[in-house]
Structure 1
Amino acid sequence: MQSFLNTFKEFLYLFTELSVLFIAISFLVSIINQKYEGIFKKQLAGDKISSYFKAIFLGALTPFCSCSTIPLLRAFLEAKVKLSIALAYLFTSPLINPIIFSMLFVTFGLKLSLIYVVFLIFLIFIISFVFSKFKEYSFLKHIPKNTKSSIFTQSAHNPSNFIFKQKSCCANTQDKSKNITINYKELFKESLKNYKKLLPYIVVAVFIGAFIHGFIPQEILQKYLNGNEILSIALAAFLGIFLYLRVETIIPIGLALLQMGISQGVIMSFLITGAGCSLPELVLLKQMFKMKFLFLFVMIILGVAISFGIFINLI
């Protein structure tokens, strides 16, 4: 009975947190996008190397869990930011942020924290850049265009060119940024509308996370993560995906495992998959991406986690 109560409380907590974050982030992004005439498109445009690092930097500044990255990812895609650059943000946000770095520094020290950040930035850049060599439609489902709050419209002469769409009938085309009137009520309604579209996915995702959190005891982790180093690292990576844990939870668990004699490589492998990929996140991503991408996404996170775990144990 206690497990059911814990699961229900966790469900309410996660559902409220994710719902508020989704609506708030969508609303904020719409305001920023209108106020600054498509800042995401401007700053993250094209295939420039700097665009990838800007996306990584933005991801590193946003302390979101794997599920909470979805609203901003969706905003990028609706603003026609290239998929490969949007993925740089998606991979970075749950894995590198001030909270993670601070907790890693306190728990494992400066050396491991810096290695973790540099290693992940390098791999995320390489992986995201590789995605630029593939056609986006092979991974993406149709992303509905936000017709009310989006500020991009296609040029009739060239559908691939997106131009600013001024809503005011008396707009001064010479200086658009000074004449923009933001309809906050309309933007908020549009954020709620987008939230309702994702609501079934959010409910399923949160239920999975709450169930796993309430019914899988931490003793299982401690029991199976000792033994052969490489096998333990791989097992830890797989467990991280199936256990929906926020980083604030994972790192204290990691400290407990470290005190039990489990290697840093195993712990870091577990941390990367636990923070960077989860069943609830995959449920949310399925609304935007094809199964081919979801499979690749899981394999990439597993590969990054296992390679970093082995790397840490070798140095």
Structure 2
Amino acid sequence: MPSFLLEFLKLTFELIGLFFVISFLVGVGQFFINPKSKIFTFSRNNKFLSASCGALLGGVTPFCSCSTIPLFVGFVKSKAPFSTSIAFLLASPIINPAILTLMGVFFGIKTAILYGLCTFIFAVLFGLVLEKFGFEKEIYDISITGGKEESQMWSELTGTFGMRLKTVIQTSIFNSLLLLRKVFPYLLVGTAIGALIHGLLPVSVVQKVAGIPAWFSVPAAALIGIPLYIRTETIIPMATVLQSVGLGPGVLVSLMIGGGGASLPEVSLLSSIFTKKMLAAFLISVFTVACATGFIFNSLLG
């Protein structure tokens, strides 16, 4: 069997298995995490705590724009602190258990922890900064329909414990399969490209790219990623191959955050909520997070 096909099948089965299991666990967890809980709006004087709660919720919620945007709008309309809402919006597409698990499997626990810490801290920081400069006034008062409806909470389910548990498991399995169906083409594309790179890309080409100074290659990767529709889960298998032939970790993580944090579908939806000033601030925030995390990765792991 050709090495390309072997590599493709190996990556595909690994990603599908991990993606489904983690998605299922996240789905179960959502029955016990209430975005309207007082902890997310606790003490408006404690901005750091509020923003941290927003980023934390973003790190465990579904990782696609159709779910992120309606939840963000829900935060805004419920009068949650603006820093909480922005921290959630920044964190949700680029941090989740699936991404961290995949990074741990492919790159090691140290890399996954560093990625999680950097993206979480920067999401909180930019949530605080944008609130400090009054960007909450740059959001239109409109609602978005067509997104995923808010999930029921465990406390809202009826019946015996066994019946409620059955509902949670069935719903989580259904939602995991539905999400897997949506991202499956992107996973296939990512694994196919990764397998092709592994078998066909001349090492000398990647080594030349790796030789470009980090001060240029890291922000360039972020700029390239922002207009693209890159799911972070998709690019991880490609990144492992690129790193193995010499591409720096900072460039890879910058591309991942740029593409995952500001995909075209998400920006399109946000343009109906944000003024041009706010949309520009959001894109600059994603770009800055991508660059800063990339430079940190180069410094500590390069």
TM over 0.5: yes
1:118 corresponds in structure 2 to 117
Q: Does 1:241 align with 2:226?
A: yes
Contact 1:73–1:90 under 8 Å retained in 2: yes
Q: Secondary structure at the match of 1:61?
A: coil
2:165 corresponds in structure 1 to none
Q: Secondary structure at the match of 2:53?
A: helix
TM-score normalised by L of structure 1: 0.61
Deviations 1:2-29 (A, max 9, x none): xxxxxxxxxxxxxxxxxxxxxxx9xxx9
Rounded to whole Å, the distance in 1 between the matches of 2:228 and 2:58 is: 23
1:272 corresponds in structure 2 to 257
2:61 corresponds in structure 1 to 62
Rounded to whole Å, the distance in 2 between the matches of 1:94 and 1:112 is: 18
Contact 1:66–1:275 under 8 Å retained in 2: no
Change (3 A) 1:305 1:42: closer
Change (3 A) 1:111 1:144: closer
Query: 1:175-194 counterparts in 2 under 5 A?
Result: none
| Overall identity of the aligned pairs, in % | 33
1:306 corresponds in structure 2 to 291
1:82 corresponds in structure 2 to 81
Rounded to whole Å, the distance in 2 between the matches of 1:144 and 1:41 is: 23
2:267 corresponds in structure 1 to 282
Rounded to whole Å, the distance in 2 between the matches of 1:145 and 1:104 is: 33
Matched to 1:307, the amino acid is A
Query: 1:98-117 counterparts in 2 under 5 A?
Result: 98-117=97-116
Change (3 A) 1:257 1:67: farther
Q: Secondary structure at the match of 1:289?
A: coil
Q: Secondary structure at the match of 2:89?
A: helix
Q: Does 1:43 align with 2:40?
A: yes
Q: Which structure is larger by alpha-carbon Rg, 1 or 2? A: 1
Deviations 1:116-149 (A, max 9, x none): 1112222222211122223345321123599xxx
What are structure 1's unaligned runs of at least 5 residues?
Answer: 1-24, 147-176, 179-209
Deviations 1:81-136 (A, max 9, x none): 12221011111111111001001101111111111111222222221112222334
Task: Supply the RMSD in Å over aligned alpha carbons.
Answer: 3.5
Contact 2:69–2:270 under 8 Å retained in 1: yes
Rounded to whole Å, the distance in 1 between the matches of 2:37 and 2:275 is: 24
Give the count of matched residue pairs: 220
Contact 1:141–1:288 under 8 Å retained in 2: yes
Rounded to whole Å, the distance in 1 between the matches of 2:257 and 2:278 is: 19
Change (3 A) 1:245 1:297: same
What are structure 2's unaligned runs of at least 5 residues?
Answer: 1-26, 146-154, 157-185
* Structure with greater helix percent: 2
Contact 1:95–1:275 under 8 Å retained in 2: yes
CA apart distance, 1:42: 6.4
Rounded to whole Å, the distance in 2 between the matches of 1:90 and 1:238 is: 19
Matched to 1:39, the amino acid is K
Change (3 A) 1:113 1:32: closer
CA apart distance, 1:43: 3.3
Deviations 1:174-213 (A, max 9, x none): xxx99xxxxxxxxxxxxxxxxxxxxxxxxxxxxxxx9xx9
